[in-house]
């Protein structure tokens, strides 16, 4: 991990350089990407160009394109009719998971459901004012598609964190698309999570082609109204292309944690939290502290703990590239740095918690105290772990039940109220050069 001292360098500039390197919009082409695009498309394409090509093909060719790209990117030679997971496969998945896992899923499901019901927006009584009646109603989005990553890791928690808020909102149909693991199958944990979250349909397709299928629909995969869920750079770019045809939750980049800690923080705890974020490989792990003793102790703990972890090589690489310890003159400066970065996950482990919390205004989620690691939010606390990254927490919130609701205003004016408002409406409409707008009012009151 790099150590930066605020009094010796421009911290904001250093972090901005880091963000630029991690940006999903950098559109850089690695050697591996170049080889793969040449194999699939016959030419070298950037990530954005590849995404547009795949989406165009799926839109025009439907299931045929899904079969082609599933074979090229996922190594699966399947007919489109085999993409949808059968109920018998889900039932069989229950036989392959432990009782402890199933119990954990049920506990997490209930925590998420209860919290999402608690924060669900309530409809207000109609607004009345001098003959005006305005009602605001909320309707659930009808069809939602959820992308659940697969590949080297399995994410049953992502199923719960996306599907349960949608279900609490009243979404009628929830479709999950998820790629197979290295064994060519969807993990039983993901399938069990889909059943526990009351998902309607599960399809074993991933990547850009799955996003395109949800966006435009094919003979096999239904079109949805909104797509949610995290993914790699290609999935995120595909969601950007899909927006407008469907809704999306957000454009999320690599996961990140920023920890504000003082001399009272436990070195082992802080080190474990930085390591857990780096485990995403890549994941941005930042410690901001005014304690040199803590910084040195955490570095020692990282060296000790990393050797005990199965993904140690990936974690080390992630920390080398995207791990920082920032030494500040005081905690007020630490708060300023955090607000500038607006991290996805923000941990606060200090003796004066309330004082620090009062100054923090930009973060996806805040975890307070030595016994609240990010993992509690990742899996079981209740708020969704789908959170804004890359500084977007300055204007964006984490996914919740309310993101699956649409607000509609129902406005009713009496003749008397229209007459009292007519001159104002006509004046404003005519100032904009919209005579027909003005006439639509004038024709009702000039009698």
Residues 6+ apart with CB under 8 A from 243: none
Classify residue 81 by its DSSP letter.
G
Spatial separation of the C-alpha atoms in residues 260 and 256, rounded to whole Å? 13
Query: Of the listed 209, 267, 280, 345, which one is catalytic?
Result: 345
Long-range contacts of 77-81 (CB under 8 A, 24+ apart): 78/204, 80/218, 80/219, 80/220, 81/220
Of 254, 150, 272, 240, which is closest to residue 202 (Cα–Cα)?
150
Which position has the token pair 């018998």? 88
Give alpha helix (H) positions in 96-185. 99-119, 156-169
CA 305 to chain centre: 29
Catalytic site includes residue 437:
no
Spatial separation of the C-alpha atoms in residues 123 and 113, rounded to whole Å? 19
Rounded to 10 degrees, what is the CA torsion of 383, 386, 390, 391? -30
Q: Where are the beta strands (DSSP E) in 77-200?
A: 127-129, 132-140, 143-147, 173-177
Q: Would you say 376 and 383 are in contact if contact means Cβ atoms under 8 Å apart?
A: no
Catalytic site includes residue 344:
yes
Q: How far apart are the first and last CA of the chain?
A: 78
Tokens of 431: 């100032």
Query: For the chain, how are helix, strand and coil distributed in percent, rounded to 5?
Result: 50, 15, 35
Classify residue 27 by its DSSP letter.
-
Query: Of the listed 89, 344, 354, 355, which one is catalytic?
Result: 344
Question: If you write DSSP's letter for every residue of 3-47 in order, what string do you get?
Answer: EEETTTS-HHHHHHHHHHHH-TT-----HHHHHHHHHHHSS---H
Q: Are strands 226-228 and 247-248 parallel, antiparallel or unpaired?
A: parallel
Spatial separation of the C-alpha atoms in residues 117 and 168, rounded to whole Å? 6
Tokens of 4: 């930066």
Helices 156-169 and 188-196 pack at an angle, to 10 degrees, of 20
Active site residues: 344-345
């Amino acid at each position: 991990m790099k150590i930066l001292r605020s009094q010796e360098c421009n911290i904001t500039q250093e972090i901005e350089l880091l963000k630029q390197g991690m940006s999903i919009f950098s559109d850089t082409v690695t050697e591996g990407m170049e080889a793969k695009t040449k194999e699939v498309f016959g030419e070298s394409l950037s990530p954005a160009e590849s995404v547009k090509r795949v989406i165009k093909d799926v839109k025009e060719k439907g299931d045929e394109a899904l079969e082609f790209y599933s074979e090229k990117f996922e190594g699966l030679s399947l007919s489109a009719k085999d993409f949808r997971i059968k109920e018998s496969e889900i039932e069989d998945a229950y036989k392959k998971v432990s009782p402890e896992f199933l119990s954990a899923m049920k506990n997490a499901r209930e925590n998420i459901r209860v919290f999402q019901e608690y924060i669900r927006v309530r409809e207000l009584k109609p607004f009345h004012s001098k003959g005006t009646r305005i009602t605001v109603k909320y309707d659930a989005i009808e069809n939602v598609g959820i992308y659940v990553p697969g590949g080297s890791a399995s994410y049953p928690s992502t199923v719960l964190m996306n599907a349960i808020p949608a279900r609490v909102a009243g979404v009628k149909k929830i479709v999950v698309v998820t790629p197979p693991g290295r064994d060519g199958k969807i993990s039983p944990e993901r399938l069990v999570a889909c059943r526990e979250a009351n998902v309607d349909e599960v399809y074993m397709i991933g990547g850009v082609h799955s996003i395109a299928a949800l966006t435009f629909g094919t003979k096999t995969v239904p079109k949805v109204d909104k797509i949610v869920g995290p993914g790699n750079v290609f999935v995120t770019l595909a969601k950007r292309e899909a927006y407008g045809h469907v809704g999306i939750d957000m454009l999320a980049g690599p996961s990140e944690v920023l920890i504000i800690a003082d001399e009272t923080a436990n070195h082992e705890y802080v080190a474990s939290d930085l390591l857990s974020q780096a485990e995403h490989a890549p994941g941005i792990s930042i410690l901001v502290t005014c304690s040199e003793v803590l910084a040195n102790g955490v570095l020692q703990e990282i060296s000790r703990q990393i050797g005990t972890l199965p993904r140690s090589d990936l974690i080390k690489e992630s920390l080398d590239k995207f791990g920082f310890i920032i030494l500040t003159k005081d905690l007020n400066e630490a708060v300023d740095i955090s607000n500038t970065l607006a991290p996805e996950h923000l941990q606060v482990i200090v003796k004066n918690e309330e004082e620090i919390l009062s100054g923090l205004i930009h973060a996806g989620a805040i975890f307070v105290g030595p016994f609240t690691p990010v993992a509690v939010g990742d899996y079981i606390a209740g708020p969704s772990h789908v959170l804004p990254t890359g500084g977007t927490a300055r204007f964006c919130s984490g996914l919740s039940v309310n993101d699956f609701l649409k607000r509609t205003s129902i406005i009713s004016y009496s003749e008397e109220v229209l007459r009292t408002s007519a001159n104002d409406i006509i004046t404003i409409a005519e100032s904009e050069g919209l005579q027909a707008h003005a006439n639509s009012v004038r024709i009702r009151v000039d009698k």
